[in-house]
Structure 1
Amino acid sequence: MSYSTIVVIVQARMSSSRLPGKVMLPLLNQPLLARMLERLRYCQTPFTTVVATSTDPTDDVIEQFCHTENVPIYRGSLSDCLDRHYQIAEQWNADVAVKIPSDCPLIDPRIVDQTLQFFLDSPGQYDFVSNLHPATWPDGNDVEVMTRACLYRAWAEATKPLEREHTTPYIWDSAPDTFRIGNVSWSTGLDYSMSHRFTIDYQDDYEFIRTVYEELYPTKPDFSCDDILTLLRQKPEIYQINADFAGVNWYRHHLAELHTVSAEQTKQVKQLTQFVHD
């Protein structure tokens, strides 16, 4: 079995509840979304990247950006991200769909390649492969790879709002009975998924990401996860910028509904910080 068409889907919207418009915040004079897409262009695996946004008028700015930058775009449901991914896979005739959130502008292209290569090196063995179950790399290196057939079945069968909004929970919550899933872990044996936060949901996250770009990008635009960790060891004050949010993710709102996620895989926002930022 061979997979000739791989589509990487970057879901993006302006209406983030915690940090509205985050995908267009500036990073070294470019929108955050532009930097996110730039990171993906450093990947060695051939694929087509499509931005998945909504038909909500607030996302017109994303469409305008994509047209200006000649980036393929699809506009669909604001809340049903699973449908957005399925429609893109159909429209682009994808053998393989890859879900990568737009709020990961520090994602290491090497990690994307490694996760994709694991899937491609095991043809026919997996319906879904990610680096999130369990996660080991710093939060913000999310890669989820699935066959078109797997995505179609999830699209046809998933009914819970969280399954439609977050795209893939139906897949990994239904395994192993329904889907064959694999996981790629950090070869170091370390687990920084709850201690290091490279994603953006809060203003502190933006300040952290902006600082990392200012420190590393001018001399090495394709800086790696290891480069970031070296920087944080050299300048621990940068790590502290968003340390209060390390381990905080969307799982915390759905622990009663998710079968394969435990309370140890998420944290609640500290009360004082929540008052300031939420």
Structure 2
Amino acid sequence: MNIVTVIQARTGSSRLPNKVLLPLSGKSLLERMVERVKWSELAGKIVVATTEEESDNIIEKICKKNNLLLYRGNTQDLLDRHYQAAKLFNAEAVVKIPSDCPLIDFRIIDKVISYFIENSDKYDFVSNLHPATYPDGNDVEIMHFDVLEYAWKNANRKLEREHTTPYIWENPDKFRIGNVEWETGLNYSMTHRFTIDYPEDYEFVKLVYDELYFKNPRFGLIDILDLLESKPELKTINEKYNGVNWYRNHLDELKTITPDQTKII
């Protein structure tokens, strides 16, 4: 199976502009993000999908410098951007990973992809998000290319184009949806925040890198949780945003998301 992993990235984030360029242990956030995904054994071809905006020329430069595959496309229509990138690289299955998760554990990436491969005849789409149980920032979604293509052809709502996959997981009557839950039985999705949207998120992630990266660049979820147990003050840095995600703005439009899966700020 030709798997293509698409990491969407742009400099024009409204809440934290240029966040993918922020430094983490001597390199940009984007470079660290790709580095972690590359440690996955099953991610296949890794493609950075950015926009055609002039401001994202810097992302193209970073990709050329690091010999990374790149696709440049629509700014707002991420469904189109993912589809075109996947098509360009002849994907049979497409993995979606956002670029603002530089603490993502490559073991979790492999777990989700492995589950999809083992059950590819049973599921059209597999993620670890429906429902989510891992700490926020370990987001992995994978689907057959023809499923992504069907969504690309049929999704009409703005949120379906902007967030790539809602048309799929919002229609369990049309698609067979699989989910990977944290094997511990715990649910930290609303209590632990490892993604970057706000300055406090970056401060938290930077300190985690400062503590762990040079001891073991391949540090993972357990290492982070152990660090937070030994230094609980770190967790307070961005805890006011725990549970804050894009669902909060679309609860009246989403059929499969309940209010307890997001936080209003």
- The TM-score range, normalised by the shorter chain, is over 0.9
Q: 2:36 is matched with which residue: 12, 29, 39?
A: 39
Shift of 1:123: 2.6
Q: Cα deviations across residues 55-103 of structure 1 (Å, max 9, x unaligned)?
A: 0111111011111111000000000000011111111110000000000
1:261 corresponds in structure 2 to 257
Aligned counterpart, 1:194: 190
SS, match of residue 162 in structure 1: helix
SS at match of 1:45: coil
Distance 1:46 1:174, change over 3 A: closer
Deviation of 1:28 (Å)? 1.1
User: Which amino acid is 1:95 matched to?
Assistant: E
Counterpart selection for 2:77 from 67, 72, 80: 80
Task: Please name the residue that 1:54 is paired with.
Answer: 51
Give the letter for the 1:18 counterpart. R
C-alpha displacement of 1:140:
0.1
**For residue 215 of structure 1, what is the aligned residue in structure 2?**
211
The one-letter code matched in structure 1 to 2:199 is Q
In the alignment, what sits opposite 2:243? 247
Find the residue that maps to 1:110 and give its secondary structure: helix
Amino-acid identity (%): 56
Q: What residue in structure 1 maps to residue 176 of structure 2?
A: 180
> 1:46 Cα shift?
5.1
Give the letter for the 1:40 counterpart. Answer: V
The one of 88, 107, 110 aligned to 1:110: 107
1:18 aligns with 2:28: no
2:43/2:110 contact within 8 Å kept: no
Which residues of structure 2 form unaligned runs of 5+?
Answer: none
Counterpart AA for 1:60? N
Q: How big is the alpha-carbon RMSD for the aligned residues of Structure 1 and Structure 2?
A: 0.7
CA distance in 2 between counterparts of 1:181 and 1:117 reads 15
Q: Given the superposition, is the C-alpha separation of residues 46 and 249 from structure 1 closer, same or farther in structure 2, using an over 3 Å criterion?
A: closer
Q: Distance in 1 between matches of 2:231 and 2:16?
A: 26
Give a deviation string over 1:129-157, Cα, whole Å, max 9, x none: 00000000000000000000100000000
Structure 2 equivalent of residue 273 of structure 1: none
**Residue in structure 2 matched with residue 168 of structure 1 by the alignment:** 165
- Which residue does 2:63 correspond to in 1? 66
Give secondary structure in 2 for the equivalent of 1:8.
Answer: strand
The match for 1:120 is: 117
- Structure 2 SS opposite 1:174: coil
Alpha-carbon distance between aligned partners in 2 of 1:75 and 1:38, rounded to the nearest angstrom: 20
Moved over 6 A (4+): none
Unmatched tracts of structure 1, length 5 or more: 270-278
1: CA distance between counterparts of 2:166 and 2:252? 13
1:133-188 deviation digits (Å, cap 9, x = unpaired)? 0000000000000000100000000000100000000000011x110110000000
Alpha-carbon distance, 1:251 to partner: 0.4
Distance 1:41 1:79 in 2: 26
User: Normalising by structure 2, what TM-score?
Assistant: 0.99
Q: Which residue of 1 aligns with 2:227?
A: 231
For 2:262 and 2:151, the matched residues in 1 are separated by: 24
